[in-house]
Structure 1
Amino acid sequence: MQQLTTKCKKLNTQPVQSATMEFVSTKQPLPQFGQLFTHVDPAVSEIFNLPNPIPFGKKVEFTIFMKYHNGHHCSRGGSQVSVQLESSSGEVTAVQVRDNNDGSYVASFATRNVGKVKVSVSANGQQIKGSPYTVNVTPPDYIKVTKPSKIVNNGGSMVNPYGIVCGKNGVWAVADTTKHCVYVFDGQDNLIKKIGSRGSGVGQFNDPCGVIFDCNDHLYVADYGNHRVQKFDVSSNYMFQYGGGKGSQDGQLNSPRGVTVHDGRLYLADCENCRISVFQIDDPFCCIIGKGKFNSPHDVAVKVNNQLLVVHFGGSCVHTFTLDGYYITKFGTYGSGVGQFSGPGGIVVDLNDFIFIAEYGNNRVSVFNKDGNYIHHFGSCRSNKGQFKWCRGVAISPDHKIYVSGYHGKRVQIFSVN
């Protein structure tokens, strides 16, 4: 031990990044002493088992191994290892990393972006060897969607499920127009609350249709028969209403059906006024979009590229606008063939701009890519699993399950992509 101490004192030491010192046995050049290493070197540290390509939404893991400057594996934990994902749009997401306390670290994630994603790995503030890595994320295989993984009817008390929405942590909500209420379910599809009853007072409904959550988990309900939209907080307390009574003047509504929230604005399918009414979230009426373009618009959604989609029930098509109201294009025609519609109603757009349309007349859900090109449809007119009678609403959960409501079936069917 005295000899080892003497040797250490004679070393020409330099400042190091870590206070941890480790004695590693070696045969050369001093078998009686070995070699003394003082810190890991990110430049020679490596990752293993990072898959490429990565299926969208599937949880993947890879391992990071810390090494010393000469390539020897470190056998201690404690390094500050961080992993980040950067999508093609520039969105950066931190990834969970587990320290195995043996010099290895495990990163796990499920990406929500399709296309090329950069994976950056750093240790003690420095990029490790080869970082950032580029991987390709393949889109969900919607063609495989045929049968539901679960059916929910709330013990038979659900009568006419209409608009449906998925929020955070698996929570989802559906409006029941016959029961004049909104049912809210948890991540295990258990009913956790019922909001509203029939009437025209605060917190009451008359044929509620569209529902949406905002980023603060506030719930907005299109109160069709009361010609307004009501807003509720996370505890289901009434907060505010939009619409100054039935009418066609600015700020008035006539039978609103669909609703969505984006970037501080509320977009409403003002059905009988044949237009989209826009409100500021915390302020009064803002503007009108698409006046003269529609015969009974039923629902609205916003794409990732900030384009507004409007379901034109009477015209059997979907119109696209800028968020400022400038008309861009449309897709779809009347019929039951590929890419055609009969009674399109509900609409939802996933994080990669895949578009889902619930068709009331064709009793199915049709799937399109971001350009409006047909991909797939599922469902038909019957009451068996995977079939619909008067398909009304459609929603996508954060883990990419598809929720579909149907009138005559008195139920919500949940479909899994994988």
Structure 2
Amino acid sequence: MYVTDYYNSRVQKFVNQSTIGQTVAGISGSNGVSLNQFNGLRYLTFDSTETFMYITDFNNHRIMRYLTNSTTGNNGTLVAGGNGAGNNNNQLNSPWGIYYLPSVSNYMYITNANGHTLMRWIPGASSGEFIAGIPNLLGSSSSLLNTPTGIKIDIYQNVFVVDTNNNRVQMFCPNSSIGITIAGNIISGSTATQLNGPRGIAFDSSMNMYIADYNNYRIQKFNKL
């Protein structure tokens, strides 16, 4: 199990059945801008062979790549962003969520929490492209986002985005920038059909969806339709 340890600026690896973590990226307790440091790391994802891990470095506005057998203090590789906070296609703006499934697509998908957009980016390219949301414009229509965080894609390249401050989950079909709401309904609440500041998203092998409903202190399961 790999854990992004936000306040310690590191990624911890726990071998199966062990309670002792090993720092595999970052320097414990040291944040910064060097290639072996993080400043507010959020999500991580892996390539299909789990040779590399890709990590959102939130306050450095970049995506970093490390070998999964890395050790603390090793330099990572910058693969997206790193040009300061911004809303141009060569920048990221507080990247939060990330998902990479190279068996399905060459693109890495990234949510810009403070840019209110979804981008796709080929790792190592000098720029990416916006595929949902309008840079630096928040809103609640089907074409806008408000602080997107968690993200997943399926084998059909449908993209599922946790639209945190809209209290909903949006699905974007391939080549469409118009979202379809599949959970939540803009208005925050604690009923079975509402969410309140959701952040994380996961699917099981049957494609049932699980949402970390942050302000309701719960995990909500939505069965596959």
Aligned with 1:213 (options 21, 46, 59): 46
1:18-417 → structure 2 map (5 Å cutoff): 175=4, 177=6, 180-182=9-11, 193=21, 196=26, 197-198=28-29, 199-200=31-32, 201-217=34-50, 218-237=52-71, 238=74, 239-242=76-79, 243-246=81-84, 253-261=92-100, 262=102, 263-269=105-111, 276=119, 278-279=121-122, 281=123, 284-290=124-130, 294-296=134-136, 314-316=138-140, 332=142, 343-352=147-156, 355-365=159-169, 374=180, 376-377=182-183, 381-382=189-190, 388-398=195-205, 400-408=207-215, 413=219, 415=221, 417=223
Could you tell me how far 1:229 is from its partner in structure 2? 1.5
One-letter amino acid matched to 1:363: N
Could you tell me how far 1:215 is from its partner in structure 2? 1.0
> Quick one: distance in 1 between partners of 2:49 and 2:98?
16
> Quick one: distance in 2 between partners of 1:216 and 1:231?
14
> Quick one: distance in 1 between partners of 2:109 and 2:58?
15
One-letter amino acid matched to 2:165: G
One-letter amino acid matched to 1:278: W
Kept in 2, the 8 Å contact 1:359–1:391? The answer is: yes
**Which secondary structure does the structure 1 equivalent of 2:68 belong to?**
coil
Could you tell me how far 1:210 is from its partner in structure 2? 3.5
**Which secondary structure does the structure 2 equivalent of 1:285 belong to?**
coil
Kept in 2, the 8 Å contact 1:403–1:415? The answer is: yes
> Quick one: distance in 2 between partners of 1:288 and 1:185?
33
Kept in 2, the 8 Å contact 1:358–1:391? The answer is: yes
Distance 1:316 1:389, change over 3 A: closer
Cα deviation, 1:127-166, whole Å, max 9, x if unaligned, reads xxxxxxxxxxxxxxxxxxxxxxxxxxxxxxxxxxxxxxxx
Kept in 1, the 8 Å contact 2:199–2:212? The answer is: yes
Cα deviation, 1:181-219, whole Å, max 9, x if unaligned, reads 55667899x978475445014443222234222212222
**Which secondary structure does the structure 2 equivalent of 1:346 belong to?**
strand
Normalised by the length of structure 1, the TM-score is 0.37
Kept in 2, the 8 Å contact 1:316–1:344? The answer is: no
Larger Rg belongs to: 1
One-letter amino acid matched to 1:357: V
Kept in 2, the 8 Å contact 1:277–1:287? The answer is: no
> Quick one: distance in 1 between partners of 2:170 and 2:121?
27
One-letter amino acid matched to 2:99: T
Could you tell me how far 1:392 is from its partner in structure 2? 1.3
Cα deviation, 1:95-139, whole Å, max 9, x if unaligned, reads xxxxxxxxxxxxxxxxxxxxxxxxxxxxxxxxxxxxxxxxxxxxx
Distance 1:273 1:266, change over 3 A: same
Could you tell me how far 1:406 is from its partner in structure 2? 4.3
> Quick one: distance in 2 between partners of 1:264 and 1:353?
11
Cα deviation, 1:343-387, whole Å, max 9, x if unaligned, reads 5443323234555332323434456777768574259634x9997
Q: CA RMSD in A?
A: 4.8
> Quick one: distance in 1 between partners of 2:204 and 2:91?
32
Kept in 2, the 8 Å contact 1:183–1:191? The answer is: no
- Sequence identity, in percent? 24
One-letter amino acid matched to 2:126: C
> Quick one: distance in 2 between partners of 1:368 and 1:266?
15
Kept in 1, the 8 Å contact 2:198–2:211? The answer is: yes
Normalised by the length of structure 2, the TM-score is 0.59
**Which secondary structure does the structure 1 equivalent of 2:126 belong to?**
strand
